[in-house]
Structure 1
Amino acid sequence: MAFATDLALRLCSPYFVTFNTKARDGSWVLRGCIGCLSPRPLSQLGEYANLAAFGDRRFDPIAEHELPGLQCCVSLLVDYEGPLAWNDFEIKKHGIIIDFESGGRKFSATYLPEVAHEQGWDHRETVASLVRKSGYRGAVDEALLGGITLTRYQSSKAKATHAEFQAAMGAR
C-alpha cells in the first residue's frame, strides 16, 4: 500500500471530478463538475471532489439527503491534440477546448468527451454551446468559427455511485 500511496503522490494529470444525481426516469443529471486542464497531482483529487460538490456556482452545495442518489466520476484527460479546426473532433470520443479572441478579449471553454453525445448535439451545436459557455455573447457565425483554435483530448473515466463507494470502503 505504501508504494501505491507514494505513486499517487507523484503522478500528475489534468482531470475533472463530476457529480451526477439520478433523475426520476433513471438517467444521470449533472450536479457539479470542477477540474483542471493542466497536470495536477492526483493526490489533490479530494480537493477537486470537494470543489465539485460544494463550490460549483451553477448548483447549490450537495446535501446529505442527496447521497443515496449520487454518482461520482473522475476523468483523467489524456492524448491532447491541437491546434485544430473548430470541427476536427469525434463526438463521444473527444473532449474539446476552444480558444478565440473577439474585441480584444480572449475566450476559452471546454467540454468533456461525453457532453455532446449526452446532449444530442452535432459539431456546430457543440461548439456554439461552448462559445456561450466561454462568456461570449456575439454571433456564432462562420467568421467566429474560423477564428477558433480547437484542442481535442480523450479521457479515462472511472465512476461509482455512493452505494458502490460505501461497499468498497466497507470491504477494506
Structure 2
Amino acid sequence: MSLLPEAGETTVEDDNICTQAHCFHAFDALYCALTDSAPIPPDFPDEKFPLFVTWNTKSSRPGRAPRLRGCIGNFEPLPLRDGIAEYALISAFKDSRFSRIEEKELSFLECCVSLLTNFEDASSYLDWTIGTHGIYISFPDPALYPTSRSSSSASSPFSSSSFLPRFTSRRTLTATYLPDVIPAQGWDKIEAVESAMRKAGWAGPISEDTRRSVRLRRYQSAKCTVDWDDFVQWRRDNGDETI
C-alpha cells in the first residue's frame, strides 16, 4: 500500500460519489477476465480516489450475511477507471486469504466498491467514530523496544506520555479497517484498535503503552454494492445478449 493521502485530499461531501456504475465496471473486469468477453467501456468520470474492491459470496440461506471472498485496495488516489478494474482483479485473484475466484462462482458473487475520502490525523487512538470512520493504524514493532515503566491496562487515549519508550527501530506495522467492518464485528474502539494491531502482525501482549504508540488516521468511505443479477441486467441493457 502506498502512503495515505494528506488531510484535505479527496475531501467530499457528496454521499453519492460512489455509484452502481463503479461496481458494474469492477464486475465487468472480473467477468471478462474469466470468460474472454469484450468489456463495456465505463461511462463515469475518471476522477482519482483511494479505493477498495470487495467480493462477497451470497449465502443460499435466507437471512445469512454474505461471506467475504476477497478485499484489497490502495490508499493512493487512483484514476477510477483503471484503478477499479485493476483492484477488482487483484482482490479476486491475489488476496492471500482466499483461493482465486473461478468462473463457476460468478452467479453467487456481489461486488462492493469503496471510495475513501476525508482523511484526517486523529489526536489519539480513540479519536474517531464507530460507524463513520475507517481506521488506518501504524506503530513501531513492540518487539523491538524495551518495556516501558508504565504497564497500566486502563484506557488512556492520550499519546503524549512521559512514560512512552524510545523507539530504536524503524520497523513499522500497519493495518486498516474500512468503516463498515467495525460495527459489523460489534467491536468498541479499543477492541477495534487491538484487532488492527493483530492484523498488522503483532502477536505479543497489548498494554496501554502499546496502544498509545499507535498513530491513527481516520477516513470515511462512499460505497456501493451490486450482485450478479444486477450485473447481468446491466450487460443486457448495454447490448450483451449472450450473458
Q: Is the shorter-chain TM-score for this pair beyond 0.5, marking a shared fold?
A: yes
Higher helix share: 1
Give the drift of 1:144. 0.6
Q: TM-score, with normalisation over the residues of structure 1?
A: 0.92
C-alpha deviation, 1:83, in angstroms: 3.8
Q: Which residue of 2 aligns with 1:86?
A: 125
Cross-structure match for 1:114: 180
**Is the CA contact (8 Å cut-off) linking 2:122 and 2:128 kept in structure 1?**
no
User: Paired residue for 1:20?
Assistant: 56
User: Which runs of structure 1 show a deviation greater than 2 angstroms over 4 or more consecutive aligned residues?
Assistant: 23-26
Greater per-residue strand proportion? 1
The one-letter code sitting in structure 2 at the alignment partner of 1:149 is R
Q: Which runs of 5+ in 2 are unaligned?
A: 1-40, 145-168, 239-243
The CA RMSD measured in Å over matched residues stands at 1.7
| Corresponding residue SS for 2:87 | helix
Matches within 5 A, 1:26-65: 26-44=64-82, 45-65=84-104
1:150 correspondence with 2:216: yes
Residue type of the partner of 1:108? Answer: T
Distance 2:58 2:100 in 1: 16
Q: CA deviation at 1:33?
A: 0.3
Q: Which runs of 5+ in 1 are unaligned?
A: none
Deviating more after overlay: 119-128 vs 148-157: 119-128
Aligned length: 168
Distance in 2 between residues matched to 1:145 and 1:133, nearest whole Å: 14
Q: Which residue does the alignment assign to 1:97?
A: 136
Give 1:125 shift.
Answer: 1.1
Q: Could you tell me the percent identity over the aligned residues? A: 42
Cα distance in 1 between the residues matched to 2:208 and 2:109? 40
CA contact (8 A) 2:135 2:176 kept: yes
Match of 1:134 in 2: 200
Deviations 1:67-122 (A, max 9, x none): 11111000000000104311111112110000111312211110100011111111
